[in-house]
Structure 1
Amino acid sequence: MREGKPTPEAVPMEETADPITAALNELHASLASDSSGTLASYIPQLAEVDPGQFGLALATLDGRRYQAGDAAVPFTLQSVSKPFVYALALADLGLEEVLSRVGAEPSGEAFNAISLEPGSGRPSNPMVNAGAILTTSLVRGDGPAARFERIRELLSAFAGRPLDMDEKVFASELETGDRNRALAYLMRNAGSLRCDVDEAIDVYFRQCALLATAADVAVMAATLANGGINPCTKATVVSQSIAEHVLAVMASCGMYDYAGEWLLRVGLPAKSGVSGGLVAVSPGQFGIGLFSPPLDARGNSVRAVAASRVLAERFQLHLMHHPGRSAPVIAHAGSAVTTRSGRLRRRKERDVLHAHGGDIDLRSLQGDIEFAAAEVILQSLSAVPAARPGSARWLVLDVQGISRLHPVAARMLDAAVLELGTRGIVVVVGDGHRRGLLPHATVELPSPEEALEWCEDALLDRHGALLAPAAELPLRDHDVLAALDDEARAVLSAAVSPYTYQREERVLASDDEVLLLILSGRLAAYTQGATARRLGSMGPGTAVTRLQPLDDGRAQPMLVAELPGEGGLLRRAQLERLEREHPRVLARLWRLLASSREVGCWPVAAPAWGSRR
């Protein structure tokens, strides 16, 4: 395998134009024309690579991966290997023993500087060349070949696939690596390096010549972000404490004499390499792999550093940033088959919703939504099936539980809303705060309850079962009368009187009013008080009895007309007459109203969506 050509072994990334891939593609396009920097000519093989190559990759803790540009092009890891070999030394010897041989303080000097502790010859940290050479010598193994094989196996476990070595780059480094040999001889003379110099240098150059892609490096980084567990293979590569120690050293020392400014501007543990690679870790969120050969004066990839700064700013990745999320970001997921709105409906409409409610999906979101939370939501939304040809689907997004939506998360979710539209999915947002969080949603309504009602109406209309509020239902066709026998139907029709209500009018507010059969318009029930909450609504074909006090003893709900309409009203005088003259009819009526399978009657039928919240 040669550096600079795509590797067939590279695991394919996500191919869909999802918002994360789109963001990486946009970033790649914005930086690809930057031709500043120079190739690492002191290693002849590295001076032959294409300076235009530029790849970005991101791997999440769920094993999902995204990429842009030349993310499948292999390159030699060079110094990007250092954190992972340091992890192996920690696993072999423990932190205290390794610290006694290699420090953990930033040197403030170049990667190949002579930075040794006076007297002991201890290198300042394992990320500079001197410290990396000594760290490599600490890895256990029966000879240099066995030591290198253990290193190769561990880095392969981090990447989730076997990594090969570029023999030509290795030979090139052996031929030109005199400065690294000089560092090794100085440490050998000081007593800090306790093995043969040529043996230490041979293994070190071999680890630097291991080939990986930006996609591999992203998985390696995600393994550290995941506490040492590879998110793709699920294998435990190192312990969580070792992962933490490695990240700490990367944060303070990984970028050489740029480490302080890097931590200030980007705020992520990272490590660069002179082949143009860069690994960065967002602990607990994801890993980043970057590759672009031209280097700045400090030996860091120009494009990779620039891309990291943009990613950190856009995705708010700085270690000091507090995400504030503790509860699951998706509080509820389902469909209108099992979760119904609080709208009471006539039987025909209920039958259609029962048969086709699966065409309405529901997602309730909550908490502080940043990049990682938004990515979880994206995966949930991607599972929503596309509309069948000639049909339609609906998605209710309950966002009123979102305490904060970070800008990057807002862009990701709004892009997902646009993508859902291309699949024939109508997105309806419910938000009592009316914040307009997702501008490309089809409509935003004052509550998730009303959003679900809206979608149910749209589904019913598509199946020809929706009775428009303005279209008056004949009294004989009301579900209550239709369910009675001829005698009872005639008696009740004669007992009720016409009733008209206007928009925002209180309905059934008098003790004299006992039962209302709704024929047109729409009513809604609200709790009383300064913070009135909408409990549910009723439309044509449903009934309302005198509202009872709430279970907690608060005042009985208010019944308000949301749309003007008409109905048939049974007053207390008519009720008393039915008790005297037609007790069998009255008993049948009460049994019927108590049966939610037969008719929709408030408050007998409780609203599923409203009661869940």
Structure 2
Amino acid sequence: MESPVENYLHDLHAEIVQNRNGTVYTPGGAPSSADPDCFGICLATADGHVYEVGDTRTEFTLQSISKVFSYALALSDLGFDAVDAKVDVEPSGDPFNEISLAAGTGRPDNAMINAGALAVTSLIKGSGGKSAIKRIVRVLSDCAGRELSVNEPIFEAERRHSDRNHALAYLLRSFDIIEDDPTAVLENYLRHCSVRVTCRDLAIMAATLANGGTNPVTGVTALDLAPVERVLSVMMTSGMYDDAGAWLTSVGMPAKSGVGGGTLAVLPGQIGVAVFSPRLDAHGNSVRGVATSQRLSRELELHFVRAARSGRSTIRTSTDITELPSGIRHPEEAAAMLAEHGHRARVIELSGDLLFAGTESTLREVCALSDEVQLVILDLRRVDKVGAVALRMLSALKHSLAAANRELLLIGTEGTATETLADLGPHVRAFDTRSSAVEYAENVLIARYLPALRVQTPVPPADSPALSALAPADAEALAGRMESRACDDGEIVRRVGQRFGGVFFIVSGRISTIVTGPGGERVKLTTLSAGMTFGELALGSDDRQETTEKADGPVQLRVLSAEAIAQLELDDPRLAVEFWKALTRDAYTRVDQYLRETAVRIRD
């Protein structure tokens, strides 16, 4: 099933591609080979999943985006103090090629402007048999997850028309900021700016930064965490040059642009964003890159202020209902069917926040499910906050599932995320408890795969599972001591606090078991159907009923009352012992089921 995130990106791409403003950069004054209409958008999550739309496999040169990674390498090689002695960390508010040096020291304002990047490049030396430029390209390749290379024609064109940068390099040399040959430093700088990448590469490079320096696709640690933290901080204030303030307020992610048409943005711990479109604005930023980033930030709530909590969102468990049954004891035929087809209903338990990161991981989990899964149950009782992006994306998921004859169900009580997600519409069923949601799913599967089953077929006490271990004559003898009772819909059969009143056998209909929640609210715990029993657990609670049992529709019961049980113990002690042994076996079966269910919930 196609992800709502992918659908959203396709729609966004189709809208922004209409914007044809801006001019294409011409390397070194030479005619550009870039197609001005190329446009790609790519998102890579911090765990390595990539979404892409448009021209995401078209190569272009990194240009100034390479400054981010050369700066990180220099910090890793020399440490912060040595690099800070040559390059400051203050925003300049100037264009990328401005001569912006501190009076007296000649120190550039930051590593994102050309002067700072030249200084940084001069600090990177050859090591381990590799030249400085090969080491920089190695880091770029590790961050991208594939071997990258320099576009030599672009490099040559840039070198022939780089007088201003050459002058900057010599000026920096005059202040001893650059201590080596300025021309060699300039060539290394122009070479790493001329490395070829695709939009997909750029997104994975951004995700590597989001993941603290480890490439989330390959697992290779390309950079150490401390330099990544410093680089992202400088990107936030200086990555977009003289447009940094507008970017910070409208997008709110550390970012870097390049005149090759690339835009890279990072939401730490969550996602890397890349856009490729060669048409540039007056600041040297991609027109479509800026517009796309603004829309993504606003509509996916990626601004660092909004997204600060979303890293707390997790998928706790994802389990089919064969491991998390409702607790209803179905007839043998139905139980066998559910064992075979229970994998068609899946419960996904969430916790934390549903902002972009949490919603995206949830959507990915659902979209990766087999087509055989027909009911998707989201347990939202542990979700704290729901963002607007969650409403939009889950609404799209609902429609996608419905189009494939699949259903989305929600679990939660008043005041939880389910209440917020009520805006998804009346066609999304919501349940107070997981048991009631699973019960609904079980009934749907029974109706689909066992339509001939007469769910309401009466189950005489002698045929009930609780008495199944008894000899037929003993079961019939017990049934003969029972009295019949009929209940109307909504009638309270047993109320919490009542003394033990006997063992109740459900012949037909359903009984809802209700408990009092921590806030005093009434919560439906489970549903009992024909063949099941209730009332006996009061014997383990000081002869007091701990739950309320209410008829869910018309119900027929057979009751072995407390008085009848006392008389049985006098008249036929052997049968009384067999009766209690049978109830003990039945109770053990229920406890075993509960323990297996609990083990599933806590195993992760």
Do the structures match in fold with TM over 0.5?
A: yes
What does the per-residue CA deviation read over 1:205-226, in whole Å, with 9 as the maximum and x for residues that have no partner?
1111110011111111111111
Correspondence 1:300 to 2:268: no
1:438-587 alignment, distance < 5 Å: 438-439=424-425, 443-464=429-450, 470-474=456-460, 477-480=463-466, 484-509=470-495, 511=499, 513-528=501-516, 530-548=520-538, 556-587=546-577
Match of 1:377 in 2: 362
Is residue 106 from structure 1 mapped to residue 87 from structure 2 by the alignment?
no
Residue 316 of structure 2 contacts residue 350 of structure 2 at CA under 8 Å; is this kept in 1?
yes
Does 1:415 find its partner at 2:396? Answer: yes
- CA deviation profile, 1:185-224 (whole Å, cap 9, x unmatched): 3223333222223212211111111100111111111111
Quote how far apart the aligned CAs of 1:606 are. 5.4
AA aligned to 1:385 is S
Q: Map 1:207-222 to 2 at 5 A.
A: 207-222=192-207
Alignment-derived partner of residue 12 in structure 1: none
CA contact (8 A) 1:266 1:313 kept: yes
Corresponding residue for 1:37?
A: 22
Residue 280 of structure 1 aligns to a residue in which SS?
strand
Distance (whole Å) between structure 2 residues aligned to residue 196 and residue 404 of structure 1: 56
Quick check: which one's helix share is greater?
Answer: 2
Cα distance, 1:323–1:469 mapped onto 2, change above 3 Å: farther
Worse-matched range after superposition: 553-562 or 305-314:
553-562
1:261 pairs with one of 246, 266, 273: 246
Q: Distance in 2 between matches of 1:273 and 1:17?
A: 32
1:80 paired residue number = 65
- For the 8 Å contact 1:469–1:563, the answer to whether it is kept is no
| Deviation by residue 1:538-581 (Cα, 9 ceiling, x = unmatched) | 11111223442787999621111122211112223433332233
CA distance in 1, matches of 2:501, 2:432: 30
Residue 185, structure 1, aligned to residue 173, structure 2: no
TM-superposed CA distance for 1:440, in Å, is 8.3
- How far apart are residue 379 of structure 1 and its match? 3.1
SS of aligned partner of 2:280: coil
Residues 361-415 of structure 1: per-residue CA shift (max 9 Å, x gap): 221112211111122222322342222xxxx743322122222221212333333
CA contact (8 A) 2:499 2:538 kept: no
8 Å contact kept, 1:344–1:605: no
Query: In structure 2, how many angstroms separate the alpha carbons of the residues matched to 1:604 and 1:335?
Result: 18
1:54 matches 2:69:
no
Structure 2 CA distance for partners of 1:305 and 1:144, relative to 1, 3 Å: farther
Match of 1:397 among 375, 378, 386: 378
Percent identity over the alignment? 35
**Shift, 1:507, TM fit:** 0.9
Q: 1:172 & 1:143 partners in 2: Cα distance?
A: 30
Letter of the 1:456 counterpart: E
TM-score, normalised with respect to structure 2: 0.90
Which whole-Å CA distance do the structure 1 matches of 2:91 and 2:444 have between them?
63
| Structure 1 residue 593: Cα displacement | 2.0
Cα 1:165–1:598 shift into 2, 3 Å: closer
Show the 5 A alignment for 1:186-265: 186-265=171-250
- Once the 2 structures are TM-superposed, how far is the Cα of residue 279 of structure 1 from its aligned partner? 1.0
**Cα shift at 1:183:** 1.7
1:525 counterpart letter in structure 2: T
CA shift digits 1:580-601 (9 cap, x unpaired):
333333322222222239987x
Deviation of residue 163 (structure 1)? 0.9
Q: 1:528 to 1:240 in 2, by over 3 A?
A: closer
Query: Is 1:338 matched with 2:319?
Result: no
Q: Which residue of 2 aligns with 1:132?
A: 117
Which range moves more in the overlay, 417-426 or 229-238? 417-426
Whether contact under 8 Å (2:500, 2:544) holds in the other structure is no
In the alignment, structure 1 residue 155 sits paired with structure 2 residue 140: yes
Deviation at 1:466, TM superposition (A): 8.3
SS in 1 for 2:166: helix
One-letter code aligned to 2:316:
A
Gaps in structure 1 of 5+ consecutive residues? 1-15
Aligned partner of residue 493 in structure 2, secondary structure: coil
Q: Supply the distance in 2 between the matched residues of 1:293 and 1:46 (Cα, whole angstroms).
A: 13
Query: CA shift at 1:167, angstroms?
Result: 1.7
Shift of 1:36: 0.8
Task: Could you tell me which runs of 5 or more consecutive residues in structure 2 were left unpaired when the two chains were aligned.
Answer: none
Determine which of 585, 593, 597 is the counterpart of 2:583: 593
Please report the TM-score for the alignment, with normalisation by the length of structure 1: 0.89
State whether structure 2 residue 53 is matched by structure 1 residue 68.
yes
Distance 1:350 1:594, change over 3 A: farther
Indicate if the aligned counterparts of 2:433 and 2:525 stay in contact, CA closer than 8 A: no
CA-based RMSD of the aligned residues comes to: 3.0
Q: 1:483 offset after TM fit, Å?
A: 5.1
Distance 1:79 1:336, change over 3 A: same
Is the alpha carbon distance of 1:46 and 1:276 closer, same or farther for their aligned partners in structure 2, counting shifts above 3 Å? farther
Residues 104-154 of structure 1: CA distance to partner in whole angstroms, max 9, x if unpaired? 111111111111112222211111111112211111128999222221111
2:512 match: secondary structure: strand
Cα distance per residue 1:217-259 (max 9 Å; x no partner): 1111111111111111211111100001111111111111011
Deviation at residue 328 of structure 1 after TM alignment: 5.8
CA distance in 2, matches of 1:89, 1:512: 77
CA shift in 2, pair 1:571/1:395, >3 Å: same
Question: Which SS does the other structure have where 2:137 is aligned?
Answer: helix
User: 1:261: Cα distance to partner?
Assistant: 1.6
CA gap 1:303/1:163 in 2 versus in 1, 3 angstroms: same
Change (3 A) 1:490 1:238: closer
C-alpha contact 2:462 2:476 (8 A) present in aligned 1: no
**8 A contact 1:340–1:607 mirrored in 2:** no
Amino acid at match of 2:120: T
Q: Say if 1:45 and 1:168, in contact at 8 Å, map to a contact too.
A: no
Relative distance call for 1:527 and 1:98 in structure 2 (3 A) is same
**Aligned partners of 1:286 and 1:397: how far apart in 2?**
23
Paired residue for 2:152? 167
Q: Secondary structure at the match of 1:563?
A: coil
- 1:236-287: CA deviation from partner (whole Å, max 9, x where unpaired): 1111000011111111111110112211211111111111111111111111
Deviates more, 1:423-432 or 1:35-44: 423-432
| Partners of 1:587 and 1:531 in 2: CA distance | 39
Give the C-alpha shift of residue 512 in structure 1: 7.7
Instruction: Find the residue that maps to 1:148 and give its secondary structure.
Output: helix
Whether contact under 8 Å (2:538, 2:544) holds in the other structure is no
Structure 2 distance, partners of 1:80, 1:549, is 73
Matched, 1:28 2:13: yes
Letter of the structure 2 residue corresponding to residue 446 of structure 1: D
